Amino acid sequence: MADFIQEAEQLRAELNQANYEYYVLDNPSMSDYDYDHKLRHLEELETAHPELKTPDSPTQRVGGKVAEGFAEVVHEVPLESLQDVFSTDELADFDQRVREAVPAGIEYDVEPKVDGLSVALEYENGLFVRGATRGDGRVGEDVTENLRTIRSIPMRLPEALPRLIVRGEVYMPKKVFHKLNEERELNGQPLFANPRNAAAGSLRQLDPKIAASRHLDIIIFNLQMADGREFQTHTETLDYLAQQHFKVIPHTKCAAIEECVHQIQQIGDGREEFPFDIDGAVVKVNSLEERTALGSTAKFPRWAAAYKYPPEQKPSKVLDIVVQVGRTGVLTPKAVIEPVRLAGTTVTNATLHNQDFITEKDIRIGDTVLVQKAGEIIPEIVSVLHDKRPEGTVPYHLPTVCPVCGAPVVRDEDGAAMRCTGAECPAQLLRHLTHFASRDAMDIEGLGPSVIENLVNAGLVKSPGDLYHLTEEQVQGLERMGKKSAQNLISAIEKSKQNDLSKLLCAFGIRQVGQKAAQVLARHFGSLDALAAASLEELTTIPDVGGITAESIKSWFENPQSQHLISVLREAGVNMESHAESVGDKLAGLTFVLTGELSRFTRKEAGDRIQALGGKVSGSVSKKTSYVVAGEAAGSKLRKAQELGITVLDEDALIQMLEE
């Protein structure tokens, strides 16, 4: 056992050092292969001997259990906000107030102001024990498990002070933000507006595994408390924190406010070089003793100010308006403008969002417009300079057919987006294929986004129908795809041919037709041909199918691209009949809510069985709920059912009902 203990300690030390070199110093000395190998070995040791597991182990960074909610944390040292200044004159006023209160020579420290989410990290005897959001400055939320997933946060410090609290800013690196939004677009999810919103949303996920997948980072900018240590200046504390393996904010000492102004300008000019977004620069009195003398108002410390960069606006001319078709089929207009320098980069395009935005601002080709970067990231048009509008310009309207495939364009009922309806639109290919192969649709195991992208890039798949003509030899030639993987993928594609009609209907991606509606339609019509031949009147008589859904179904089947896709799939042998046709609707009119952990099948499998018999599955308990099925560790839904007097079934009772 002593050997196991020593080996685990050695592995933890090596892996923690590798994390520090990779995520803080940006100078890795251990290969990814060696790191993964050592981490796997440590996991095996800790699994075999749970007593070897420690809070600072690298194995604890993957995320723990899903939380019910976040507990409140009262900050031992308040996390104060800063007073904003918007001009050099206001900065000079701040300097004058400081000098009047502290006549001795003042030294400042200037840092970039990271646009993220402020948190406090607490350490006891060198071990990370808790982390909390700023909240209102005095009370925040305990997000310890999510913070553990940030690799640049040290779990154990070189010096084991009895108690240490630091303050930092959690952010999403720009590269990660852009990649995340690409993935969300591919999956048809709403895009994050900016990295700050993405970071805040990620850190406050109740499931730490989701937070871990977002690859957040942190920069430390203040020492809140250090038992057993004395410091004279802010810069001394930052140097000390760097020695403790924290990633520390870049900073510069300045002897006068004029030097601060120069440094603020330097930071602003170089903002594109930072891996994080900034929305200003912070000027702080360097002396900790002078900070104490200056104190704080009810809102802000008197020893610091945040200089906020004004959004830079410049005129440019709209040379053209082009329309892009996104992976979800949304038409996005973009203005092509004369090159203009903004926030450190040359801008040649500006987003126009949608038709409502264009109409509201009356943007036309040939107009001179004011352009700025929204959130310092996305160039956008602020206004039109109407006095410079040339004669002959005309209002702009988005096309009524897709500029990529020619399919009709429709407007979302609940928004301003215009969307292509083409079933085989090349612009939506990755999105279509990803949805087509997903679990709720054709459920093709092994056909994930990366494999799909490789297939598309190799020119092997240009439509969902092409999947059924792939060969093992073609797939085996793809990157990271061996013989066995190719065999498994072809087998999974072949197996999907036997899916129920409801899976195929869901895979088509017809607007308003999700998994539940697809099951209802498949049971009602029994075959794809019968559904395709149905009239609007017949469609609207089906439960859960309203007028808008009926229109979407009818339009989809009338589209030539849809008809071509159906013929290709039919020729390939894909099933177009409902297996559930003879099952009946014995649970029709009943609504079930599933909660807790079931032992004999998953909640999804139970839901599928209920729906196959005509029942509905809901995610929330209400007076309209017929039954609540409660498994192990059932929580608030069970309590609400008991309060409302709704019948509660255990797993055995549900199985008996399904079998009857």
**What residues are labeled active site?**
113
Judged on CB neighbours under 10 Å (0-12, 13-18, 19+), 484 is exposed
**Letter for the amino acid at 176?**
V
Cα 395 to Cα 497: distance, rounded to the nearest angstrom? 49
Q: DSSP string of 129-169?
A: EEEEE-TTSSEEEB-HHHHHT-TTS-SB-SS--SEEEEEEE
DSSP class of 391: T
What does the block give as tokens for 148? 């553990």
> Burial code of 496-515, b = ≥16 C-beta within 10 A, e = fewer?
beebbbbbbbbbbbbbebeb
591-595 β-sheet, strand order: 616-618, 591-595, 627-630, 647-649
- 393's CB contacts (< 8 A; 6+ apart) are 364, 365, 366, 367
User: Quick one: tokens of 454?
Assistant: 């490789």
In angstroms, the CA 623 to CA 641 distance is: 9
Core vs surface per residue 33-56: b (16+ CB within 10 A) or e: eebeebbeebbebbeeeeebeeeb
Question: What's the rounded Cα separation, in Å, for the pair 113 and 307?
Answer: 9
- What is the side-by-side strand order in the sheet with 83-85? 83-85, 304-308, 278-285, 108-114, 252-254
The three-class DSSP label of residue 343 is: coil
Please answer whether residues 394 and 364 qualify as being in contact, where contact means their C-beta atoms are separated by less than 8 angstroms: yes
Contact criterion met (CB below 8 Å) for 572 and 464: no
Separation of alpha carbons 578 and 605, rounded Å: 18
User: Residue 229 and residue 220: Cα distance in Å, rounded?
Assistant: 18
At 195, list the tokens: 């990295």
Beta bridge partners, 419, equal 330, 410
Q: H helices of 447-579, where?
A: 449-457, 472-476, 483-496, 501-508, 515-525, 528-533, 536-540, 547-558, 560-572
Q: Please, are residues 471 and 444 in contact by the beta-carbon 8 Å criterion? A: no
